[in-house]
Structure 1
Amino acid sequence: MVTNRLWRTLSAFNCSTRRWAPIPLRNTQSQVTQRLSPTSRKIDTLWTQRLSIISWNIDAFSSRPVSRAKLILSHILEGPKSPDILFLQEVTPDVRASLLDDARVRAAFLVTDAEDQTSFEDVPFATMTLLSSARFAFGLDSQKESDGIEGGENFMLGRISRVALPSKYRRDALYVDIIPPTAPGTFFRLINVHLDSLGDTLHYRTHQMEILANVLREPGCSGGVIAGDFNAISPEDDGLVNKNGLVDAWVALHGGADPDGATWGVGVERRNGLGPGRLDKIAMMGLKAKEMEVLRPGPIEVPRPGEEPVEIPWSDHCGLRCTFTI
């Protein structure tokens, strides 16, 4: 059984003490099975909230991973549109430590995997999810304090869990359930994923997408978002979102033929002949995408002993930013 803890920073002034407040969790099975339950009850259709999400595979294997991750984080947090939800993939233990030690993160976000490195053991990297503490709360007291009114407007956090998927590379899905303030009897699910890589694992990705789509149909769940690195490198991959009854946010807003939708191999010549691809995606059920854009990485210098330094991008993937309504 693999469970995950979500922790909230106490305040911007406590950074030197490195103290964190734990959030109690409910256990969940480490291996989910496919469930064909219909989507649960409808919620009040007059209530609408807008949320924003950024998903970025920050590239574990290129040089200077911590420095590159810091540049990506600064680009995200210091821009005009800091997200409510941040999904990161290919986070190494060193990058995890850097994120948890960042004063901006500690002051303003709820962060998964802050308690220990359990999810990072025996794997080269893992996923992490960050949630803005201005939009999400993990207890009624926090909600009242942040909003100043009974009940508040923040989403409450429900189950947080890391669930193993059938995988060649020990990939998993990181779930966070969010409960709307006006409908405590239902929830929406945020799923951070890094599906299996390379062409010989299409059958794994097919199974993974079936499982994830059915998770959004579980009793009590009114839908949600699946975002991250889908490793969609083949035409068969491109059909998995629609096949499982999900909405591809980029296609819904820009159409499938938009050449600006590529998130991998952009501006890079590869010896294997692979061109740019839309490997990273945001898929939805029960939500409506409003805006979406691709975030291009900037450059960083990599020193070379005895030679001139070279510039590489912050990541071999672009990020995705999407605004949607519940």
Structure 2
Amino acid sequence: MAPSLQPDTPNTQTFYCFDPTTDPPQWRPASSCTAHDTTDRLHLISWNIDFHAPAPRERMSAALQHLNKRLSDHGQQNDSPTVIFFQEMVESDLGLIQQAPWIRDRFYITDLFRTHWRASYGTLTLVDRRLHIQRVFRVPYGLSRMQRDGLFVDINMQNPHATGGNPVIRLCNTHLESLASGISSRTVQLKLASEFMHGTGRYSTSGLPTPHAAILAGDLNAFAPEDAIAPNECGLNDAFLALGGTEETEEAYTWGKQNPVGMDGKFPDARMDKVLFCGSVEVLAFAKIGEGLKARVDCSMDDDTSDDEAEDAYDDVWVTDHLGLDAEFRILDL
């Protein structure tokens, strides 16, 4: 574990904003925001980008291009502020994210380095700069052989008519324990995250405000019967089901069709990735993203190859084994 992180409790961390006025331009701490827009809408994207597959730079570059195009299209139809959750980020991903002009222009970032990760990969969140971040904190799961956590961001919704303080919307980006061996751990991990969403249990002694509403999304590795009932047991609504989705259908599955070579057909398709919510919020729209998305990878080892050989040296690989999720929310009772 990173030496400064305490398990099962909130560990506050800095977030960052790109400053083009410095010499050289750079990402700087942004512990206090001067916001921003008043809104009751929130656009959320969550995506696990496989940390283990080859060609991480090419795959992440393709993912970022896809997201940039999707956000451009979203802005033409509904310009609600966007938050992006990433899971399984690696060091090269951090560099590509920080270099992307559209991210520099539009987003705060929770992590520049691996400082707050306990494994070689971790979670990272991008927050639209039109939103007012009140705090960022991680809750490392004490019961986690794979060193997983929940990355929380509290958003102040800037209601000018609110009495007793502006309502806080709590967002949780999480990656729960993998594999069948992690079933019992996932149940405990989601229960802990839900306490911080509801303001109950261990959360009640944390000193944090009780959120007006909360949204959790990420790779929940949900493929066992216990995983299907865990959200309901934690008092959380499922965005996919709330809008009429049906379990064990092609529409539901987020994992299984884009597995790396050698894994095809070894495991059944599953709805591993979910968006869950509670409190005064409703889901308006829900979709999967990244289906069929591939990256072009240069597989050549020799710079002296002919043009025909060079063309054959490229391969198209899946950007990731998970489909991403895209959801639109409205905050109620503001």
> TM (normalized to structure 2)?
0.78
User: In 1, are the aligned partners of 2:288 and 2:325 still within 8 Å (CA)?
Assistant: yes
Structure 2 CA distance, aligned partners of 1:107 and 1:302?
A: 28
Choose from 158, 173, 178 the match for 2:155: 178
Percent identity between the two aligned chains: 29
Cα distance change, pair 185–51 in 1 and its aligned pair in 2 (3 A): closer
User: In 1, are the aligned partners of 2:258 and 2:322 still within 8 Å (CA)?
Assistant: no
Hey, what does 1:139 align to over in structure 2?
none
Choose from 240, 245, 256 the match for 2:235: 245
Hey, what does 1:290 align to over in structure 2?
284
Choose from 21, 28, 40 the match for 1:21: 28
Does residue 273 of structure 2 align to residue 280 of structure 1?
A: yes
Hey, what does 1:299 align to over in structure 2?
294
Choose from 214, 228, 244 the match for 1:254: 244
Q: CA deviation at 1:9?
A: 1.4
Hey, what does 1:60 align to over in structure 2?
51
Structure 1 CA distance, aligned partners of 2:258 and 2:97?
A: 28
Choose from 198, 208, 231 the match for 2:189: 208
Given residue 26 of structure 2, which amino acid in structure 1 is its aligned partner? Answer: R
Q: CA deviation at 1:305?
A: 4.9
- Number of aligned residues: 281
User: In 1, are the aligned partners of 2:40 and 2:157 still within 8 Å (CA)?
Assistant: no
Cα distance change, pair 72–270 in 1 and its aligned pair in 2 (3 A): same
Hey, what does 1:9 align to over in structure 2?
18
Hey, what does 1:86 align to over in structure 2?
84
Structure 2 CA distance, aligned partners of 1:161 and 1:271?
A: 37
User: In 2, are the aligned partners of 1:10 and 1:107 still within 8 Å (CA)?
Assistant: no
Structure 2 CA distance, aligned partners of 1:164 and 1:216?
A: 15
Cα distance change, pair 308–94 in 1 and its aligned pair in 2 (3 A): closer
Deviations 1:208-239 (A, max 9, x none): 01111111122521221010000002121111
Hey, what does 2:116 align to over in structure 1?
119
Structure 1 CA distance, aligned partners of 2:286 and 2:49?
A: 19
Hey, what does 1:323 align to over in structure 2?
328
Q: CA deviation at 1:129?
A: 0.3
User: In 1, are the aligned partners of 2:175 and 2:219 still within 8 Å (CA)?
Assistant: yes
Hey, what does 2:135 align to over in structure 1?
159
Given residue 92 of structure 1, which amino acid in structure 2 is its aligned partner? Answer: V
Structure 2 CA distance, aligned partners of 1:58 and 1:192?
A: 14
Structure 2 CA distance, aligned partners of 1:308 and 1:159?
A: 47
> TM (normalized to structure 1)?
0.80
Structure 1 CA distance, aligned partners of 2:265 and 2:65?
A: 33
Structure 1 CA distance, aligned partners of 2:234 and 2:155?
A: 22
Task: Report the 3-state secondary structure (helix = DSSP H, G, I; strand = E; otherwise coil) of the residue aligned with 1:124.
Answer: coil
Structure 1 CA distance, aligned partners of 2:258 and 2:152?
A: 33
Structure 2 residues not aligned, in runs of 5+? 6-11, 33-37, 76-80, 200-208, 302-311
Task: Report the 3-state secondary structure (helix = DSSP H, G, I; strand = E; otherwise coil) of the residue aligned with 2:257.
Answer: coil
Given residue 19 of structure 1, which amino acid in structure 2 is its aligned partner? Answer: Q
Q: CA deviation at 1:48?
A: 6.7
User: In 2, are the aligned partners of 1:249 and 1:282 still within 8 Å (CA)?
Assistant: yes
Hey, what does 2:103 align to over in structure 1?
105
Hey, what does 1:39 align to over in structure 2?
none
Moved more, 293-302 or 279-288: 293-302
Choose from 69, 72, 81 the match for 2:60: 69
1:221-240 to 2 correspondence within 5 Å? Answer: 221-240=211-230
Aligned-residue CA RMSD (Å): 2.2
Structure 2 CA distance, aligned partners of 1:235 and 1:310?
A: 37
Hey, what does 1:128 align to over in structure 2?
124
Structure 1 CA distance, aligned partners of 2:266 and 2:320?
A: 19
Cα distance change, pair 73–271 in 1 and its aligned pair in 2 (3 A): closer
Hey, what does 2:40 align to over in structure 1?
49
